[in-house]
């Protein structure tokens, strides 16, 4: 068996807010002490991560003085140098402060919208200062509890205007930066706009600079809506829009759990890793999760190591799936094509249409073939359980 040791080539990253989570939840207060960004970088270095990501206010508190900010940055930079960690991604906190209680870019208050733009420009500068190449947008407060309060169309327009403005800002500054939009269906708002990766992809297609904007799908967020995460990731990938990914775990139909990657839905995690490895995704494998509230910082490290270890175990299973003779023979059989239909596919022509219209089909014969998907799935389960 492999040793499942994380290496830089695996591009495993964590947010400061993940290992720094103090375990506050709607019904309980902090269970773990505060750690500085530099301390968190050390922790991530210790467990073998490749990179660290941050929200502006993870690094620099919203009310920090310039001097305080400089001191924090110096310590953070030193910790990066000491550990060798990089900062591949950064993002803006547009949800914690009360000013964002009705949204940031979609707030009904023009002062809030202006402040959100300002805060994001400054946060982009900060991210770029530390080398971030991907900038994530998660609009946690962009939504409603009552649809009497806001125009959904106006909110789309406001979101688009903000994104267009910020794209231009990054271009103007000549930043080597791509934007990645992250969807979530609800929580903390009753309903959040652009609730899935699909909605985000559609939204991106309407921007002024769609080429520099992609998505950052998150396992937990799509599972909350009970939809197939890998399918959404595949759509993003196929459209050239998979700029970043948030790995964690989640049981559907409940609050945002941000569980250790692969700890809840093993099968879905496998298909996701298989997809990423098979297509050759080269971006960060970012773990946007946190340790159970029962844990101290030893538990946090175990949690972080577990995210990476399970990814690597599943990655090895992908290799095994692809090398398994029985599985591959079955897949070949399932996908066999006798070529007799090939001339009907591809670009349309009137002749093709005419010929196809006249083609006889033996529906009963075609239908009666068993497709062997139970066998294929059982082979997959055996592979996952380590019994093949």
Which residues from 33-52 bind its own copies, rule CB under 8 A? none
Binding segment for its own copies among 39-47, 71-79, 83-91, 345-353 (CB under 8 A)? 345-353
Helix or strand holding residue 54 (H, E) = strand 51-55
E strands along 59-183, which residues?
89-91, 134-138, 143-144, 178-182
Rg of the chain over Cα atoms, rounded to whole angstroms, equals 23
Q: For residue 312, what are the contacts with CB-CB under 8 A and spacing of at least 6?
A: 2, 4, 5, 6, 10
Beta bridge partners of 287: 14, 247
Beta bridge partners of 286: 13, 246
Residues 132 and 178 sit within 8 Å (Cβ to Cβ): no
Which position among 271, 273, 276, 311 is part of the footprint of its own copies (CB under 8 A)? Answer: 271
Which position among 45, 187, 277, 281 is part of the footprint of its own copies (CB under 8 A)? Answer: 187
Work out how close the CB of 180 gets to its own copies at its nearest, in angstroms, rounded to a whole number. 15
Question: Residue 58 catalytic?
Answer: yes
Q: What residues from 113 to 152 belong to the interface with its own copies (CB under 8 A)?
A: 113-115, 117-118, 121-122, 140-141, 145-149, 152
Beta bridge partners of 12: 285
Choose, from 10, 56, 58, 256, the residue flagged as catalytic: 58
Residue 243 lies near its own copies (rule: CB under 8 A): no
Binding footprint of its own copies, residue count (CB under 8 A):
162
State which residue, 51 or 262, has the beta carbon closest to its own copies.
Answer: 262
Question: Residue 55 catalytic?
Answer: yes
Count of C-beta atoms within a 10 Å radius of residue 265: 18
Residue 239 lies near its own copies (rule: CB under 8 A): yes
Residues 286 and 245 sit within 8 Å (Cβ to Cβ): yes
Residue 371 lies near its own copies (rule: CB under 8 A): yes
Q: For residue 111, what are the contacts with CB-CB under 8 A and spacing of at least 6?
A: none
Q: What residues from 304 to 343 belong to the interface with its own copies (CB under 8 A)?
A: 305-306, 309-310, 313-314, 317, 327, 331, 334-335, 337-338, 340-342
Which position among 57, 106, 284, 380 is part of the footprint of its own copies (CB under 8 A)? Answer: 380
Binding segment for its own copies among 34-42, 43-51, 67-75, 100-108 (CB under 8 A)? 100-108
Catalytic residues, by residue number, are 55, 58
């Amino acid at each position: 068996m492999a040793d499942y040791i994380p290496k830089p080539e695996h591009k495993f990253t964590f947010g400061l807010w993940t290992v720094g989570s103090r375990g506050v939840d709607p019904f309980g207060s902090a269970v773990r002490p505060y750690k500085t960004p530099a301390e968190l970088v050390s922790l991530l270095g210790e467990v073998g991560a490749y990179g660290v990501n941050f929200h502006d206010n993870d690094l620099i508190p919203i009310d920090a003085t310039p001097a305080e900010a400089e001191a924090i940055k110096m310590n953070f930079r030193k910790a990066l140098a000491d550990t060798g960690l990089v900062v591949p991604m950064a993002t803006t906190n547009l949800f914690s402060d009360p000013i964002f209680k009705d949204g940031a870019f979609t707030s009904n208050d023009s002062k809030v919208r202006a402040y959100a733009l300002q805060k994001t420009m400054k946060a982009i500068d900060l991210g770029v200062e530390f080398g971030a190449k991907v900038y994530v947008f998660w609009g946690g407060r962009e939504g409603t509890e009552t649809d009497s309060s806001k125009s959904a169309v106006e909110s789309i327009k406001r979101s688009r205007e903000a994104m267009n403005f910020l794209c231009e800002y990054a271009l103007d500054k000549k930043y080597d930066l791509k934007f990645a939009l992250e969807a979530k269906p609800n929580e903390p708002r009753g309903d959040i706009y652009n609730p899935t990766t699909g909605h985000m992809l559609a939204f991106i297609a309407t921007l002024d600079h769609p080429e520099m904007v992609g998505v950052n799908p998150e396992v937990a967020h799509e599972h909350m809506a009970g939809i197939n995460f890998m399918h959404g990731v595949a759509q993003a990938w196929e459209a050239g829009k998979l700029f970043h990914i948030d790995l964690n775990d989640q049981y559907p139909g409940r609050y945002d759990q941000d569980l250790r990657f692969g700890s809840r839905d093993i099968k879905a995690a496998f298909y996701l890793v298989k997809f990423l490895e098979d297509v050759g995704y080269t971006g960060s494998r970012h773990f946007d999760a946190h340790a159970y509230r029962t844990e101290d910082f030893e538990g946090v490290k175990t949690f972080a190591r577990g995210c990476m270890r399970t990814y690597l175990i599943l990655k090895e299973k992908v290799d095994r799936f692809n090398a398994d003779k029985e599985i591959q023979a079955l897949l070949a059989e399932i996908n066999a094509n006798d070529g007799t239909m090939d001339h009907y596919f591809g670009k349309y022509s009137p002749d093709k249409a005419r010929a196809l219209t006249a083609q006889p089909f033996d529906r009963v014969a075609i239908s009666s073939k068993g497709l062997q998907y139970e066998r294929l799935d059982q082979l997959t389960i055996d592979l996952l359980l380590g019994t093949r």
